[in-house]
Amino acid sequence: MGVTIVMFPGPLESHSVPMIELSNRLLRHHADLNITILLSRNAATRPLTPRLSFIELPYVEPSTGAQMNLAETLIGHVDRLKPVVADALASILNTNVAVPAFVVGMFGTTMIDVAADLGVPAYIFFTTSATGLGVFLHLPVVDSKYKEDEWRAHMEGIDVAGLHMVPPLDFISVLGYKQSPAYTWFLNSSRQYVKAQGIIVNSFNDLETKALEALAQGAYLPAGHTMPSIYPVGPLLGLDGRQAEFADHPCIKWLDGQPNSSIVFLCFGGMGTFSTEQAREIALGLELSGHGFLWSLRVQSGSKETDLQAALPDGFLERTKSLGLVWTESAPQVSILAHPAVGGFVTHCGWNSVLETMWFGVPMVGWPLYAEQRLNAFVLAKELGILCGRLKKEEDDDEALVEAKDVGETVRRLMEEEEGRRAREKTLRMKELGRKAVEEGGSSYANLALLVNQWTCASNSQS
């Protein structure tokens, strides 16, 4: 009997890509393994093998609301998908294949109940950092320890097991304030995570040693709870074919004409946008730095297209035409980071971007914008020491401008000074360790093999 693992990443493409890469890695470990991914949107990647299949779920209208943030929108959407996911999983089980695991994305905790009702062990795939997982699991402890007004008052940091004191805003940016629906969901979901059979993490032992050890010991959990098994299997990046695909892209062609390590790349993810006022400060800062740049720019507006003449200072494009390139469409980030002309990266610190940057050994400056990005920047700076500065203002004000002089000085530190050199050395070391982790004999390779062995043994006991 064949063995089928069913997966549900949730509605975000940024969660689907690493889950598809996880699937491809799993399939390389076992010739009799099959994987079916339940998608609430079209697949971003086509299967590399017939043993990987996609089922597109029936359309479910997303939750909407004027005051809903990203987390609340995702949570509501996943909850509304619960009946169609249950039907899809039941249909697979009715084909009499062995299903030893149902793997759900980090926002899919409501699906743990679906798996339990159908008698399938549930696993969680946590697509961000092990430290982020620890903070998430620690939420019930923090919730009982601090009142909300005390969160703001404890500016020296919130005590999270095994970490430096986490700044309150870095904590709140992930989980929300106590009165928000997102916070309530995160608190309840944190308690649900311990019901999973195991948690798969997109990280690796040498990157987050302290956090992974604390997780394994259950240090983040409230007293009396048992930690599920933890499987760090990263970095999972989905790089297959992506570099060659963009060899003729205008950004890559432009980089081909630049000296090695001379260009600072600025990119802030698919949802990272700036006000016109902030875009102008960035532009002036880049001009002040004197360094070559490739800037993937999206400006907040009612139009999908960015009007560069309106968004940038008068004469900026003409003055910097020999120095940089401003790109307003989707940028091929992986191909750009892999290019030898790129010597630094100003990033929103989304976890996929962090892992891609380390994979290519490019030093980073952090400019976190939303979700867990502030926490990721904290981890990179305080826990790992590989972030060369952070541009986002510390105060809880999304409208606060980062001024041109701060942008220019930070870019110079990254590209010219000792701080940037140290960040490059540490990032290159993580590049080496991350690539070893996923090779045969590496820690992530071994953890993945252990997981496959457990699933195949479980399926044999079912048959």
The answer to whether 29 and 452 have CB atoms below 8 angstroms apart is: yes
User: Which 3 state secondary structure label does DSSP give 5?
Assistant: strand
pLDDT at 1 over 60: no
Distance (Å, rounded) from C-alpha 256 to C-alpha 236?
Answer: 27
pLDDT tens digits, one per residue of 304-357: 566 788 889 999 999 999 999 999 988 999 999 999 999 999 999 999 999 999
Distance (Å, rounded) from C-alpha 435 to C-alpha 204?
Answer: 10
Which range, of 32-41, 200-209, 397-406, averages the lowest pLDDT?
Answer: 397-406
pLDDT tens digits, one per residue of 160-213: 776 777 887 787 777 777 778 888 888 999 999 999 999 999 999 999 999 999
Nearest to 239 by CA among 71, 18, 69: 18
Q: What is the amino acid identity at position 232? A: P
| pLDDT of amino acid 70 | 65
C-alpha torsion angle, residues 310, 316, 317, 322 (rounded to 10): -170
As a whole number, mean pLDDT of residues 8-34 equals: 87
60 burial class (0-12, 13-18, 19+ CB within 10 angstroms)? Answer: middle
The answer to whether 76 and 62 have CB atoms below 8 angstroms apart is: yes
Residues 6+ apart with CB under 8 A from 104: 7, 8, 10, 111, 112, 115, 122, 123, 124, 125
Categorize the per-residue pLDDT at 63 as very low, low, confident or very high, splitting at 50, 70 and 90. low
- Report the phi/psi class of residue 458: left, alpha or beta, with left for phi > 0 and alpha for psi in -120 to 50: alpha
Residues 6+ apart with CB under 8 A from 38: 6, 7, 8, 55, 57, 85, 88, 89
C-alpha torsion angle, residues 198, 201, 207, 212 (rounded to 10): -30
The answer to whether 26 and 6 have CB atoms below 8 angstroms apart is: no
CATH for 3-239+440-462, options being 4.10.1240.10, 3.40.640.10, 3.40.50.2000, 3.40.50.150:
3.40.50.2000
Distance (Å, rounded) from C-alpha 372 to C-alpha 350?
Answer: 7
Nearest to 430 by CA among 364, 371, 366: 364
| pLDDT of amino acid 31 | 84
Categorize the per-residue pLDDT at 426 as very low, low, confident or very high, splitting at 50, 70 and 90. very high
- Report the phi/psi class of residue 346: left, alpha or beta, with left for phi > 0 and alpha for psi in -120 to 50: beta
Please give the distance of CA 111 from its chain centroid, rounded to a whole number: 21
Please give the distance of CA 387 from its chain centroid, rounded to a whole number: 16
| Whole-structure pTM value | 0.92
Distance (Å, rounded) from C-alpha 426 to C-alpha 445?
Answer: 23
Q: How far is CA 232 from CA 113, 212, 244, 307, in A?
A: 24, 8, 28, 43
The share of the chain scoring above pLDDT 90, in percent, equals 60
Distance (Å, rounded) from C-alpha 352 to C-alpha 52?
Answer: 22
| pLDDT of amino acid 397 | 59
CATH classification of 244-435 is 3.40.50.2000, yes or no? yes
pLDDT at 439 over 60: yes
Helix (H) or strand (E) holding 73: helix 70-93
Helix (H) or strand (E) holding 433: helix 418-438
pLDDT at 461 over 80: no
Which range, of 153-162, 187-196, 263-272, averages the lowest pLDDT?
Answer: 153-162
| pLDDT of amino acid 161 | 73
Length of the chain: 463
The domains of the chain are located at 3-239+440-462, 244-435
75 burial class (0-12, 13-18, 19+ CB within 10 angstroms)? Answer: buried
User: Which 3 state secondary structure label does DSSP give 365?
Assistant: strand
The answer to whether 18 and 236 have CB atoms below 8 angstroms apart is: yes
pLDDT tens digits, one per residue of 288-316: 999 999 999 988 875 556 678 888 999 99
Distance (Å, rounded) from C-alpha 434 to C-alpha 438?
Answer: 7
pLDDT tens digits, one per residue of 23-34: 999 998 888 899
The answer to whether 200 and 451 have CB atoms below 8 angstroms apart is: yes
Distance (Å, rounded) from C-alpha 368 to C-alpha 65?
Answer: 24
> Regarding predicted confidence, which is higher, 87 or 147?
87
353 burial class (0-12, 13-18, 19+ CB within 10 angstroms)? Answer: buried
